[in-house]
């Protein structure tokens, strides 16, 4: 994962993508081929430069309620006319975390958020919901899973190829609602022309193949359809939710 290569300082002067680019997005969510309840939720507010995918945990209505709580809080943030910045996102997530912890005692949620301000995109996450930057026919994973198998991979005792088949593949080490406070990791990257961002739950990410990105349709609606179709055909054992974000140069 080449996260470090994507980090940038905020540009000083020069042209701003904020004046040239309008961001558009497409979302898809499917219960999958095994589950009866879709515990995933998403936020798609291209008008405010704010998107999220939330994967509820806890089974049946519990996980869905936890995920809905997170999206409701982020929706309120997007509805407020005040500018949205990283501090506001973190405060909203902290509020949602406490609400889940206080009300949905046996539930939780993983989350990935994209906030685009001008020419910068900041990704926030907790758990194993992921963000990818699609650029030049390839993709970079911007997030680093908070999970048992990722810790094993980092320690060199498990290969990435074997991770999906490990009996603890679905066990996360960080999530909203499981403690009074939650730490969000984040990474910021400069947005370049033709960039695409993919936010997704693990029901999508476990089916992604790096070779997919070289042949993705240019239209983001078709791209979203292709990614979801691949997830359902290759796996389908979990809820599958994704948001694709792109900039349209003006």
Q: Tell me if 31 sits within 8 A of 228, measured CB to CB.
A: no
Q: Which domains does the chain have, with CATH numbers?
A: 22-248 (3.60.40.10)
Whether 97 shows a pLDDT value over 90: the answer reads: yes
Percent with pLDDT over 70 in the chain: 90
Return mean pLDDT, the chain: 89
pTM of the full structure: 0.89
Residue tagged 């979302």 (tokens): 27
Strand order in the sheet with 130-135: 21-30, 240-249, 196-200, 130-135, 138-141
Whether 6 shows a pLDDT value over 70: the answer reads: no
Mean pLDDT of 101-119: 93
Mean pLDDT of 18-31: 87
Q: What does the alpha-carbon distance between residue 40 and residue 65 come to, in Å, rounded to a whole number?
A: 10
pLDDT band at residue 19, thresholds of 50, 70 and 90? low
Q: Tell me if 23 sits within 8 A of 246, measured CB to CB.
A: yes
- Greater confidence, 213 or 20? 213
**DSSP-derived 3-state class of residue 186:** strand
CA atoms within 13 A on the CB side of 247: 24
Of 242, 162, 243, residue with least CA distance to 204? 242
In sequence order, the β-bridge partners of residue 190 are 120
pLDDT band at residue 2, thresholds of 50, 70 and 90? very low
The confidence score (pLDDT) of residue 115 equals 98
Burial of 96 (0-12, 13-18, 19+ CB in 10 A): buried
């Amino acid at each position: 994962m080449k996260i470090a290569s994507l980090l940038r300082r905020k540009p000083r002067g020069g042209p701003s993508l904020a004046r040239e680019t309008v961001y558009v997005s497409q979302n898809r969510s499917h219960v999958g081929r095994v589950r009866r309840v879709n515990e995933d939720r998403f936020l798609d507010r291209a008008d405010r430069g704010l998107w999220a995918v939330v994967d509820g945990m806890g089974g049946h209505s519990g996980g869905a309620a936890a995920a809905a709580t997170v999206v409701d809080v982020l929706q309120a943030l997007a509805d407020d006319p005040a500018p949205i910045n990283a501090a506001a996102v973190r405060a909203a997530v902290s509020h949602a975390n406490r609400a889940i912890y206080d009300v949905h005692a046996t539930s939780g949620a993983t989350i990935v958020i994209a906030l685009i301000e001008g020419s910068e995109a900041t990704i926030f996450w907790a758990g194993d919901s992921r963000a990818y930057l699609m650029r030049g026919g390839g993709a970079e994973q911007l997030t680093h899973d908070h999970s048992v198998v990722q810790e094993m991979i980092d320690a060199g005792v498990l290969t990435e190829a074997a991770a999906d088949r490990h009996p603890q593949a679905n066990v996360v080490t960080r999530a909203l609602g499981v403690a009074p406070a939650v730490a969000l990791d984040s990474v910021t990257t400069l947005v370049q022309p033709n960039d695409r961002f993919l936010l997704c739950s693990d029901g999508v990410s476990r089916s992604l193949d790096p070779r997919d990105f070289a042949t993705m349709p240019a239209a983001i609606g078709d791209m979203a359809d292709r990614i979801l179709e691949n997830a359902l055909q290759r796996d389908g054992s979990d809820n599958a939710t994704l948001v694709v974000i792109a900039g349209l140069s003006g």
